[in-house]
Amino acid sequence: MVEDRSWTARTLSTVNYTFMIMLSLLCVLPLIHIWAISLSSNMAVSSGAVTLWPADFTLDAYRYVLGKPDFLRSLGVTTKRVLIGVPINLLLVVLMAYPLSKERNVFPWRTVYAWFTVFTMLVHGGLIPTYMTIRETGIMNSVWALILPGAVPVFSVVLLLNFFRQLPKELEEAAFIDGAGHFTLLFRIIIPLSLPALATITLFSTVGHWNAWFDGMIFMKSPEHYPLQTYLRTIIIELDLTSLGSEDAIRLAENVSERTTRAAQIFLGSLPILLVYPFLQKYFMKGIVMGSVKG
């Protein structure tokens, strides 16, 4: 690629770069727009004067949001969910991927288990049965209803078991000869070697927990227990006023939340997860590429 500087190659890379830059702009601009709105005055926003740079700069929206119990409470729920949910995800994924990565002569039922696992990726229980299961197990309205149903992310298991498989067999044999058992092998040798893959899985699982909103709406019995995204959805959704009574419409128009505060909450809500990316990014590419190629 470096030595070949022909006309076609240069055109190709120009087109390529232009396309990629456009694509990144498509992703970034809405966020910048939201950021600009959150720092502008209501008046400037409602007259459409704000696009990518704040007009009539003010921090009012942030002051209001940070003093608002609902936002902080739901942020708390989500933080708790991530802190409990991600370690559980990781532990279960590792413990599941390790045996499934063994050869069939080592673990004879491997194929059966593997298919059983993959099957759950293809076929879901459906909303109503899931709801009833959660209800009957009695974890409704607790943080466990958000964590346990998705405790084993199968995609991550597949990713990790492929990563495990491409690790040199010799390491394993050497460890066994030196008297290591499976747990020693897994925790002292394989895991330290799999950090890129684990980082990737951590990222998937963190983002997944952070962004999930539907389960919060279905499994929580009151808005006080909503995770962040479920809460955010309640403030950004555009209510269809024609379906409400007109008196309610009047009341709503009186109280409708300002776009600036909505923008501030959306921005604050995505900030933590944005901050995670740079730290895990360097592992990310490596992890997903190596995990996906069977060695």
Binding site for another protein (CB under 8 A): 43, 46-49, 88, 91-92, 95-96, 98-99, 102, 105-109, 127-128, 131-132, 135-142, 144, 147-148, 151, 181-182, 217-218, 220-224, 226, 233-235, 237-239, 241-257, 259
CB of 294: closest distance to another protein in angstroms? 20
Smallest separation, CB 65 to another protein (Å): 13
**Minimal distance in Å, beta carbon 268 to another protein?**
18
CB nearer another protein, residue 196 or residue 259: 259
Residue whose CB is less far from another protein, 65 or 290: 65
DSSP 102: S
Written as six digits, the tokens of 77 are 């729920």
Inter-axis angle of helices 195-211 and 228-236, nearest 10: 40
Nearer to another protein, 233 or 286 (CB): 233
User: Which H or E run contains 272?
Assistant: helix 259-292
DSSP secondary structure letter of residue 108:
T
Q: Which residues 6+ apart lie within 8 Å of 210 measured at CB? A: 78, 82, 228, 229, 272, 273
Alpha helix ranges (H) inside 101-227: 110-122, 127-137, 144-147, 154-165, 169-177, 182-184, 191-193, 195-211, 214-219
Q: Minimum Å distance from CB 193 to another protein? A: 19
Of residues 194 and 283, the one with the C-beta less far from another protein: 194
Q: CB 9 → another protein: shortest distance, Å?
A: 39
